[in-house]
Chains A and B, each alone.
Chain A
């Protein structure tokens, strides 16, 4: 475990893998002085309420790491109907050397694990799945969202799940357009450490026009 500085009121804890991140997040969330924890692929960002608490929290983190972490609870499967109509779908196919149909089949045929939420409400970064679907991050961030260049495996790691119209308006990612039907505010908290199956669906299309715009 490495503790990396991240300003006056945060420390970035770097660990070996996502399992360690999730186990650590559970132990750290209720620690005194901790304001928020943000899991990443191999890191846990820990922010503190006051800069004065940072040294104490760093010491506590080092202590937590010296003990074995509890195993994460078994995952439950959530099924999410999606519509594959995204602007970058053909691009993703070109990158992977698959046809669009093969991309969709690969995406729907495997179980994904929700590694962590983030970026914006309703987004979940997915891990596992079909390794053929890996694509690089965009070289330049989208101008509409400074710094937001998208995840490393946009199609997959990500369920662009924000209320769909808003996301379409922001369009922050090179994405294969996996859109959720459910409202993110209700669904997002339940996403941690869940497995997701993505069956094809056209049901969402019927309500798509009503969800355009903010």
Chain B
């Protein structure tokens, strides 16, 4: 069986997959890869089955070695990487021979790189998922030097592909927000202004500093279920945006929810980076005939027709 030997884990490398939906009423968040687009792309480039686990590498600096020849690919944050000293591409599958070392440098754009390996990381699942949930501590613990990770069965990729990837943005990032459910708690629902990503942000939540949003009302809200991407407004007026390991319920008003695409952007924001918000329609509506076409096509892998 092919295995991946961890020589250096970097600041924080987690095993992540599509997450564990369906347990939120028990307090278990979905978790899973923070930048879902980058994670899913990595799996597709290798013809991995959907949900195959990958490595989510915070800030880079991971070094691994395979015990058997395997295909791998790096997506997400832009990192310089080498295999046995030779540079490898970004979003471009490469071959790792037994004993060769894959070494990632520091990420230069974005903060979460995904290393996908053919067959996926095959550690035992917990509640149906191999994702590490940093809030509840479920799933495989963060990688440490000396870890040996089993890989799943894999066939060679059937086609040569290079994904025309755009690395995560530098500078000010605009996040799409759908208003609700508690927008009425805001004195000004326009969400105007610019914020800075605080250093104490993580997979549970991204904290923003800068101006505060005044509340239109006082008092307390009964605790209610919250989603990934929810923008919560604590009484101090500084927004917190929930990541994949968010608490399943919260008691501060949620004044808006990021679009799924903007949640992926959120995953790559560096501390100190600036963000703005842009309000979009409350819910995207899709014409019934188009919906029917999508349903018919779903088996063929159509995921998103936004």
Please give the residue numbers on chain A whose beta carbons come within 8 Å of chain B beta carbons, in ascending order: 4-10, 12, 25, 35-45, 47, 49, 51-52, 54-55, 116-123, 125, 136-137, 139-141, 143, 145-152, 157, 162-163, 166, 184, 188-189, 192, 214
Min CB gap B180→A, angstroms: 4
Mask of B3-35 contacts with A, CB within 8 angstroms, 1/0: 000000000000000000111111110100000
Closest to A170 in B: B135
Closest to B247 in A: A119
Min CB gap A8→B, angstroms: 5
Determine whether the beta carbon of B249 is less than 8 Å from that of A147.
no
Indicate whether B258 reaches chain A with its CB closer than 8 angstroms.
yes
**Measured CA separation A43–B180 after assembly (Å):** 14
Q: What residues of B have a CB within 8 angstroms of the CB of A38 in the complex?
A: 24-25, 224-225, 248-249
Closest to A140 in B: B236
Interface of B is mostly: loop
**Measured CA separation A117–B158 after assembly (Å):** 46
Determine whether the beta carbon of A8 is less than 8 Å from that of B248.
no
Closest to A44 in B: B225
Determine whether the beta carbon of A51 is less than 8 Å from that of B227.
no
14 contacting pairs across A/B (C-beta < 8 A): A6-B180, A36-B23, A38-B24, A45-B24, A45-B226, A117-B26, A118-B249, A120-B135, A120-B248, A125-B249, A136-B220, A140-B236, A143-B200, A152-B220
Q: What residues of B have a CB within 8 angstroms of the CB of A44 in the complex?
A: 225
Q: What residues of B have a CB within 8 angstroms of the CB of A152 in the complex?
A: 220, 222-223, 251
Closest to B224 in A: A40
Min CB gap B58→A, angstroms: 16
Range of interface residues on B (Cβ < 8 Å): 35 or more
Q: What residues of B have a CB within 8 angstroms of the CB of A5 in the complex?
A: 178-181, 257, 282-283
**Measured CA separation A121–B179 after assembly (Å):** 28
State which of B28, B137, B200, B250 has its C-beta within 8 Å of the C-beta of A148: B250
Min CB gap A54→B, angstroms: 7
Closest to B280 in A: A8
**Measured CA separation A47–B24 after assembly (Å):** 10
Indicate whether B235 reaches chain A with its CB closer than 8 angstroms.
yes
**Measured CA separation A166–B285 after assembly (Å):** 43
Min CB gap A72→B, angstroms: 14
Q: What residues of A have a CB within 8 angstroms of the CB of B201 in the complex?
A: 146
Q: What residues of A have a CB within 8 angstroms of the CB of B242 in the complex?
A: 146-147
Determine whether the beta carbon of B247 is less than 8 Å from that of A147.
yes
**Measured CA separation A7–B22 after assembly (Å):** 18
Closest to B234 in A: A141
Min CB gap B46→A, angstroms: 24
